[in-house]
Structure 1
């Protein structure tokens, strides 16, 4: 994407009512919507996050299917989720928002027990050992998720990375978290949850065309 295109999208994001872009200072000094996200949506419906939402395809697809649930796509790359934000506005999806921020700040952006469910879709597996701290399912991130999730809140990890799948599964079992479902190739397992196989990102469909297996884990974090 050219720099002019990015700048144009950044400018448009600033005009979108469904895009929230706090500065780092605003987050660190007390984010105004923390614990009060119901005021943005004007309802008390459950809140579900998609972390590293990219273009927002998953966020949009889930929001279309579940109008009584609020969805927030979270990503630091606003030029990417611009597309999802634009589609949501065009389709009058009032249950969609996009939050431009670093995911490591997630516990400063949402209040305790404010989130019902988290989706992590095709994250960078950060395979190098030196990148362990950036893996979205490491122990530190799970601790942050646990802070904002309601009791019995669910986390979903969908990835094409066998490494990420194995790493996460091993960590979950080792720490005593509750694994509700796990499979290394969900499209070849007839018992896979329908909402997992019926929603695909652009890149996911490409992986499937190449015969690459898609893995999935659903789990609860030990309180």
Structure 2
């Protein structure tokens, strides 16, 4: 590990708005802030919005600036990335945004029943070969359901045609309540100030001519036996920057 990363990890230990609890430190027991994020961590009773796979935390930070009456928690396992967002939040003296460094596979161990109002999934890895690792698969949705409020919203913002098509099919197959859906966000009527927030990588996708997709939904009345779509979805012919990314619609 490079000295720069080690320095960031060391600095982040002193950040009161950052909680570090990777799998090896939590394993199979519940976390001490479970059910207490608003009152204990943020010191208020405002709604809690969680961004899973937040990367550098840009979206969480900008959301916190726009909505001071809500609490925002960015979650990622990459400590060097989280350092960026946590540093910005510290410099801006934002009190309504924090970060959790952990494995998303055990995310249900960190929140109590009905604790979270909204979930944002911003440009997750589509995991085209392993559906069980997709953050919008039934595997993960079942992990979110216990801690997401009854009318809680899940937002997906993605560059991936595969991720969007798969999630849309899953949502409609299971008759979830669709709030908004578009395969070309920046040419759609639903575009607003919240959806205009752009991460570093989103700006690069846009510069390459790649369309951004957005889907927002609630579980609605269907809280039972969810199904995976059987349709074979066209795979993206790129992965990420530095790995054969190229222009495509």
User: Normalised by the shorter chain, which TM-score bucket?
Assistant: over 0.9
Measured after TM superposition, the shift of residue 46 of structure 1 is: 0.4
Where in structure 2 are there 5+ consecutive unaligned residues? 224-249
Residue 123, structure 1, aligned to residue 118, structure 2: no
Measured after TM superposition, the shift of residue 22 of structure 1 is: 2.0
3-12 or 25-34, which deviates more: 25-34
Partner SS for 2:144: helix
Give the whole-Å Cα distance in 1 for the aligned partners of 2:195 and 2:36. Answer: 32
TM-score (norm 2): 0.85
C-alpha contact 1:27 1:108 (8 A) present in aligned 2: no
Residue 220, structure 1, aligned to residue 221, structure 2: no
TM-score (norm 1): 0.95
Determine the structure 1 residue equivalent to 2:239. none
For residues 41-52 of structure 1, what are the structure 2 equivalents within 5 Å?
41-52=42-53
C-alpha contact 2:22 2:101 (8 A) present in aligned 1: no
Give the whole-Å Cα distance in 2 for the aligned partners of 1:6 and 1:54. Answer: 15
C-alpha contact 1:50 1:74 (8 A) present in aligned 2: yes
Determine the structure 1 residue equivalent to 2:91. 90
For residues 191-210 of structure 1, what are the structure 2 equivalents within 5 Å?
191-210=189-208
Determine the structure 2 residue equivalent to 1:60. 61
- When residues 93 and 51 of structure 1 are mapped into structure 2, their CA distance, relative to the original with a 3 A threshold, is same
18-27 or 94-103, which deviates more: 18-27
Per-residue CA deviations over 1:126-148 (Å, capped at 9, x if unaligned) read 112xx211100000111111111
Residue 165, structure 1, aligned to residue 164, structure 2: yes
Give the whole-Å Cα distance in 2 for the aligned partners of 1:22 and 1:54. Answer: 16
Give the whole-Å Cα distance in 1 for the aligned partners of 2:76 and 2:90. Answer: 18
Task: Work out the number of aligned pairs and report it.
Answer: 219
Q: Which runs of 4+ in 1 moved over 6 A?
A: none
Give the whole-Å Cα distance in 2 for the aligned partners of 1:195 and 1:157. Answer: 16
